[in-house]
Structure 1
Amino acid sequence: MNTFSPSQSPRNFQINLHGIIELLSGHLYSGPQVFVRELLQNAVDALTARTQLDPSWPTGEAGRITLEVWNPRAARPTLVVRDDGIGLTEQEVHTFLATIGLSSKRDEANWDDPTDFIGRFGIGLLSCFVVSEEIVVITKSAKPSPPRPGEITPRANVGVEWRGRSDGTYTVRTLDPESDAALEIGTKVFLTCKPGSEEFFCTNRLIELARDYGSLLPYRIEVIAEGARERATRINPEPPPWRQIYARPEERDQALLAYGRSVFGIDFIDVIPLRAEAGEVDGVAFVLPFSPSLASKRTHRVYLKRMLLSEQADNLLPEWAFFVKCVANANRLKPTASRERFHENADLANARDELGACLKKYLVRLANRDPQRLRRIVELHYLSIKALAIRDDEFYRLVIDWLPFETSMGRMTLTEYRRREESDTLKYVANLDQFRQIAPVAAAQGICLINAAYTYDLDLVERFPDIVPEGRVEAIDADDLARSFDELEPDELDRASTLLDVAEVILRPFRCLPQVKRFLPVEMPALYSLSAEAEFLRSLERTKEVANSLWSSVLDGIAPGDEEIHARLRFNYDNPLIRCLIELNHRPTLEKVVPILYVQSLLMSHRPLKADELALLNTGLSDLIVWGLEPRSPQCSRETA
């Protein structure tokens, strides 16, 4: 048995309410305006609770929420929020209003289905302290009180007034019989504006916030200024637009596009219905009329039980769905404590998958029924569609021929590529710098190469044989392309021997072998290429130049020892400059020009220069300038050049 001395007895934590309020306003909530959301949330939950208590309620004008603003000249502005929901008993006031983190809607024993309620955390009312030093709640419960001893009939509850202050104190009193008799079942919340919060007690601003948060709520909400009920502003006159009934599909699409324009300020090009059983999600996605940046966040407007959760929610749709913006409501997904995004759990993951399937189904339908519209969407949002095609084989088969790729012959779809090549073999280059180097050469020879270096393209191309039975792929580099170059005639090769001899000596320190070929375009004097092994060796050599001695020795240990690994520099016999050098057959001239041609070909291959190659460039340029100034330098004839 444990015993405690007085100093060892368990004690309760002390709470600094000012610190809690600062935490909520500065870190948990996005801004002071969320107090409107929390008040609407409490009122809606109170109305829902009353319907669970009495399924025949509401009738007539019952079941409404009003936000009334008073701006007396001699006092601070006041906001009164009324609802005719279930109200609170005196015991519930002590239990729930005065206990931070305890919610009346979390107890499953009290309600048929506590997930019908929006609030769950028991901290919402504290947000009111951000704009008011005091919260006054006057409430009367719809629940009957237990009968007194000796009585049978339950008694009606008496109205209760609760006053909470930002210093952490509160008072509770029961109303006198006269006040209680005049009080209807429900709750009134009174907030008096504290200095600096006047913006939120302005009628127009309050209407704006109430519409933002509550335009889709199921109960009637009105904003009243100075008691003028006849001029009350209705916040939510209609149900969510995607749940309304329309005479024709075209009318529905036009109405939803107009709704999307009013919400996001964008003229969308199409709408997609969304529905997921997981989380009970429904809504609509709008197809963007432009291609968004991949770096931009994909944010959406989401509601929880028809209360706005966030205008910047980023975790409801799949990551690849950046071609749409959506408005959606979820009834069974859990919010985070800040109530500004959904909690990541299995329900959200399942809902996300189902919503992704809705987007896929839409694209499949377009492919079968409206290919022109699909083509337009693909042109705008091909990155999203490529991302989905990688994940889904069936979708890949459907859209692969519609997807655009950059090629050496210009931008084209795979349908256009296969038609042009009259083949189901996709020839591609996986490295962007290599593609830029050899694309002009390939184009001049009529060879169409796909640039597979961009996002998703390599995965799509390499999967082609797995998904398309007759498909094949072939990776191409500069060496592969060079195999199609024309060989020289024996006499031409003999005339080029001096060029090859000089080039071999100059290029030997750089592990590069010279060749002379005939290829297009004639404007290109030389083409540099190297194998994967040579590329790796070159990378090691560049790294050693900037590494310390320890790392240099490590790199020496992993460097390949094969002395036969060489790059290739292929001179173009049909190029006027190369033809001129061959005809001159002048070694001093060749010794000055060949280093420049070597470095130029390296730069055209988009490879960074090593230190010795940079030195070669500097020396070569200096020698070339001095040589050009000499009065008796040999010159090419105009016919040769």
Structure 2
Amino acid sequence: MCSINCNQGNCDYPIRFFCDRKIEVAENKFQVNLRGMIALLSDHLYSTPQVFVRELLQNAHDAITARQTHERNHQGEVRIEIASGQKGGPATLTIQDNGIGLSESEVREFLATIGNSSKQGVLEAEDYLGQFGIGLLSAFVVSDEIAVVTKSVNENAPAVEWRGRADGSYTLRTLDIELEPGTQVFLRSREDASELFSPENFLAAARRFGAHLPTPIIVTSGSSQELINEEPPWGLPSSLNAQEQRERWLQYGRETLGTDFLDVFPISSEAGGVEGVAYLSPRAASAPAKQAHRVYLKGMLVSESIDELLPSWAFFVRCVVNTTSLKPTASRESFLENQQLSEARETLGECIRGYLLQLAKYERAKLDAILAIHHLPIKALAVDDDDFYRIVIGWLPFETSLGRMTLNECLRTDPLIRFSPTYDQFRQISSVAAAQGFCVINAGFTYDSELLEKLPVAFPERRCEQVDIEQLVDAFEPLSLEERDGTHDLARLADLVLQPYRCSAQVQKFSPTELPTLYTANDASTFLRSIEQTQEETNQLWSSILGNVAENATASAYAQLTLNYNNPLIKRLAEISDKNLVGRAVEMLYIQSLLLGHFPLGPKESSLLGQGVLGLIEYALKGSQESEGREHE
């Protein structure tokens, strides 16, 4: 609490004072530490010191744009000259534009005031690239001094020279010389930035940022002079037909993005004024992986790694686009997440959807090639979009017991769609289902279950049914009465041997005949097995907690091992009277079934594997010795 008493108890000030007493207060202005600002720009705002090239090009282009608002037919031009330092001294850079220029008062207002921009007027949102008043400061990242010579288009304005230094000081003087309206910026490289001033590096940076600006940019180095402007992919001549445009876009992808893309198509959005092209990746992409999109703002490169431009499901598409009205951040390396960007993202997603729909109707072969690589993101889109689902669901590939097939191929095989909801269940029954001629879809992959559940959306007359493993086993061919009598002892012994592993046994006939046994587990049994595996890998506390959970699940957690009487090995086992040998054989067949079904072995089963192998070896050696003994007799 402040110790000064206040005459008015309802005073809003946090520090109370005598309200009827006049107090002299001195007003002060914030001071700006320019070196601190430069460190902020280079270390935190800009991703690379090369952005000084972009900022200088931006200022020159904006100056020309401003002049063209008054002189419609003005032909703007930016000239850049790189000069090597004499006798190994620092290189110098000159960038000159024939834009609107600045008067002395404007120089004081805009160049000497950080954060104040000459472009914060009416035309800012429509015509100018910059707006934050910090663009010129980026030059201090590579140079200790900036010299600006400028002349306003105002006939009465003299030429002015402004020199700013990294310590925060500057000088300003009027020049008694005749100059054409425009601005020249002079930089001398710092020692640690000399590589950025090499002709090769600067030219590469100038092309990267400004190649698609509408203003001609000419770079001179020694006797070499080069126009860096190139035709942007969103501005190809209207005289080109669709195939010629596609070839030009694919060539741009090869040369600029370094990839032979699968296909390319135009995209646009009225929201944000977005226009450009979308490339289909030639390689499968995963959902978490985001594509780096190359985005320009009014022809100036903003970033080559913007990832929020498209919907999240479109991770198989890479874009090169130009925007005229999306709002950049202060660093100009990304865009503000606002309503306009959200609308643009949605519209661009519609463009991708429309492209795929066109392929579905008119270019089936191309769609099949795309689906073979990018089925996962297309499945994601089909889950959310019923219209798109109706078009593409029949052509989407699925893993089935009969091999990889499209849904249309599955429907031709059987009007009833059967599916297994988990990968583990599918592995248990796929070979058996295939031998019976059943087409069972593995719905354990991402999106597959959701797609199959929506089947009535596209095929109201078709039915979709989840395969129950126990029902499949119940449908096996039963044994005859004679065969049942012959296998009674085997079934009883196998059931007894497998009791410690919570598994029952039965003898049935099924295909394929080369499969001697089939291990099937219900959900409770699979859950209990995963608990036991986790107990082995976790600490004592969690193992104890999981043990309590396992006790509650034990009652219903029984699996089943079905012995295939069609298999010759099982028939031979049924004829052997040596119970120890049969028991060992059943144990090893049980382990083999687990391994074939990719089930993890528990501690008891791992021990059983070692003991069973040794036991069978002993039986083989014993039988060999007895045989040799009989031969000697």
TM-score w.r.t. length of structure 1: 0.88
Are the equivalent residues in 2 in contact too, given 1:317–1:352 (CA < 8 A)? yes
> Whole-Å Cα distance in 1 between the matches of residues 481 and 157 of structure 2?
113
Are the equivalent residues in 1 in contact too, given 2:478–2:509 (CA < 8 A)? yes
- Which of these residues, 82, 86, 92, is aligned with residue 69 of structure 1? 82
Q: Does 1:22 align with 2:39?
A: yes
Amino acid at match of 1:222: I
Q: Does 1:492 align with 2:492?
A: no
**Cα 1:185–1:504, aligned 2, differ >3 Å: closer, same or farther?**
same
Matches for 1:377-396 after TM superposition, within 5 Å: 377-396=370-389
Are the equivalent residues in 2 in contact too, given 1:498–1:587 (CA < 8 A)? no
**Cα 1:103–1:389, aligned 2, differ >3 Å: closer, same or farther?**
same
Deviation at 1:536, TM superposition (A): 2.9
Deviation at 1:550, TM superposition (A): 7.2
> Whole-Å Cα distance in 2 between the matches of residues 71 and 426 of structure 1?
74
> Whole-Å Cα distance in 2 between the matches of residues 557 and 212 of structure 1?
61
**Cα 1:112–1:30, aligned 2, differ >3 Å: closer, same or farther?**
closer
Are the equivalent residues in 2 in contact too, given 1:242–1:284 (CA < 8 A)? no
In structure 2, the partner of 1:202 is 198
3-state DSSP of counterpart to 2:496? helix
Amino acid at match of 1:471: R
- Which of these residues, 207, 210, 213, is aligned with residue 214 of structure 1? 210
Are the equivalent residues in 1 in contact too, given 2:400–2:441 (CA < 8 A)? yes
- Which of these residues, 71, 94, 106, is aligned with residue 80 of structure 1? 94
3-state DSSP of counterpart to 1:50? helix
In structure 1, the partner of 2:114 is 100
In structure 1, the partner of 2:366 is 373
Deviation at 1:526, TM superposition (A): 1.3
Amino acid at match of 2:324: N
Are the equivalent residues in 1 in contact too, given 2:419–2:443 (CA < 8 A)? yes
Matches for 1:621-636 after TM superposition, within 5 Å: 621-631=613-623
- Residues 549-558 or 425-434, more deviating: 549-558
- Residues 549-558 or 41-50, more deviating: 549-558
In structure 2, the partner of 1:129 is 140
3-state DSSP of counterpart to 2:192? coil
Matches for 1:377-416 after TM superposition, within 5 Å: 377-416=370-409
Amino acid at match of 2:574: I
- Deviation readout 1:197-216 (Å, 9 max, x if unpaired): 33332333333222211111
> Whole-Å Cα distance in 2 between the matches of residues 84 and 3 of structure 1?
58
**Cα 1:565–1:85, aligned 2, differ >3 Å: closer, same or farther?**
same
Could you list the runs of 4 or more consecutive aligned residues of structure 1 that deviate by over 6 angstroms after TM superposition? 1-10, 632-635
Q: Does 1:166 align with 2:162?
A: no
Amino acid at match of 2:179: L
In structure 2, the partner of 1:343 is 336
3-state DSSP of counterpart to 1:630? helix
> Whole-Å Cα distance in 2 between the matches of residues 95 and 311 of structure 1?
34
Amino acid at match of 2:221: A
> Whole-Å Cα distance in 2 between the matches of residues 316 and 561 of structure 1?
48
In structure 2, the partner of 1:362 is 355
> Whole-Å Cα distance in 1 between the matches of residues 27 and 496 of structure 2?
89
- Deviation readout 1:68-95 (Å, 9 max, x if unpaired): 1222534422111111222223333233
Matches for 1:321-332 after TM superposition, within 5 Å: 321-332=314-325
> Whole-Å Cα distance in 1 between the matches of residues 434 and 330 of structure 2?
59
In structure 2, the partner of 1:575 is 567
Are the equivalent residues in 2 in contact too, given 1:242–1:256 (CA < 8 A)? no
Matches for 1:78-477 after TM superposition, within 5 Å: 78-106=92-120, 110-142=121-153, 144=154, 156-175=156-175, 178-179=176-177, 182-226=178-222, 232-236=225-229, 238=231, 240-292=233-285, 294=287, 296-421=289-414, 423=415, 425-477=416-468
Deviation at 1:456, TM superposition (A): 2.3
Amino acid at match of 1:575: N
Q: Does 1:501 align with 2:480?
A: no
3-state DSSP of counterpart to 1:398? helix
- Deviation readout 1:25-71 (Å, 9 max, x if unpaired): 2333222211111111111111222233x1x3343xx3111111222
- Deviation readout 1:172-219 (Å, 9 max, x if unpaired): 2222xx22xx12222111001121333332333333222211111111
> Whole-Å Cα distance in 2 between the matches of residues 391 and 329 of structure 1?
28
Amino acid at match of 1:111: V
Amino acid at match of 2:72: W
> Whole-Å Cα distance in 1 between the matches of residues 200 and 23 of structure 2?
58
Amino acid at match of 1:234: L
**Cα 1:10–1:614, aligned 2, differ >3 Å: closer, same or farther?**
farther
Q: Does 1:526 align with 2:514?
A: no
> Whole-Å Cα distance in 2 between the matches of residues 434 and 550 of structure 1?
27
3-state DSSP of counterpart to 1:322? coil
Question: Can you give the 5+ residue segments of structure 1 that lack an aligned partner in the other structure?
Answer: 145-154, 636-641
Matches for 1:38-49 after TM superposition, within 5 Å: 38-49=55-66
Q: Does 1:599 align with 2:580?
A: no
> Whole-Å Cα distance in 1 between the matches of residues 250 and 142 of structure 2?
37
Are the equivalent residues in 2 in contact too, given 1:540–1:559 (CA < 8 A)? no
> Whole-Å Cα distance in 2 between the matches of residues 86 and 610 of structure 1?
80
RMSD: 2.8
In structure 2, the partner of 1:513 is 504
> Whole-Å Cα distance in 2 between the matches of residues 633 and 571 of structure 1?
31
**Cα 1:21–1:561, aligned 2, differ >3 Å: closer, same or farther?**
closer
Are the equivalent residues in 2 in contact too, given 1:87–1:139 (CA < 8 A)? yes
Are the equivalent residues in 1 in contact too, given 2:528–2:554 (CA < 8 A)? no
**Cα 1:7–1:611, aligned 2, differ >3 Å: closer, same or farther?**
farther
TM-score w.r.t. length of structure 2: 0.89
Are the equivalent residues in 2 in contact too, given 1:216–1:240 (CA < 8 A)? no
- Deviation readout 1:499-528 (Å, 9 max, x if unpaired): 122222222222211111111122222111
3-state DSSP of counterpart to 1:161? strand
**Cα 1:475–1:239, aligned 2, differ >3 Å: closer, same or farther?**
closer
Deviation at 1:405, TM superposition (A): 1.3
- Deviation readout 1:419-460 (Å, 9 max, x if unpaired): 122x0x321123223322321222122111112222322222
**Cα 1:240–1:628, aligned 2, differ >3 Å: closer, same or farther?**
closer
> Whole-Å Cα distance in 1 between the matches of residues 186 and 512 of structure 2?
82
3-state DSSP of counterpart to 2:566? coil
> Whole-Å Cα distance in 1 between the matches of residues 146 and 425 of structure 2?
69
Are the equivalent residues in 2 in contact too, given 1:86–1:185 (CA < 8 A)? yes
Deviation at 1:123, TM superposition (A): 2.1
Are the equivalent residues in 1 in contact too, given 2:281–2:318 (CA < 8 A)? yes
- Deviation readout 1:558-610 (Å, 9 max, x if unpaired): 85477354211111112222222111132111222222222222222222122
Amino acid at match of 1:352: R
Amino acid at match of 2:572: C
- Which of these residues, 23, 26, 50, is aligned with residue 67 of structure 2? 50
Are the equivalent residues in 1 in contact too, given 2:217–2:229 (CA < 8 A)? yes
Deviation at 1:115, TM superposition (A): 4.1
- Aligned residues: percent identity? 46
Question: Can you give the 5+ residue segments of structure 2 that lack an aligned partner in the other structure?
Answer: 1-12, 628-633
In structure 1, the partner of 2:53 is 36
> Whole-Å Cα distance in 2 between the matches of residues 29 and 113 of structure 1?
22
**Cα 1:577–1:207, aligned 2, differ >3 Å: closer, same or farther?**
same
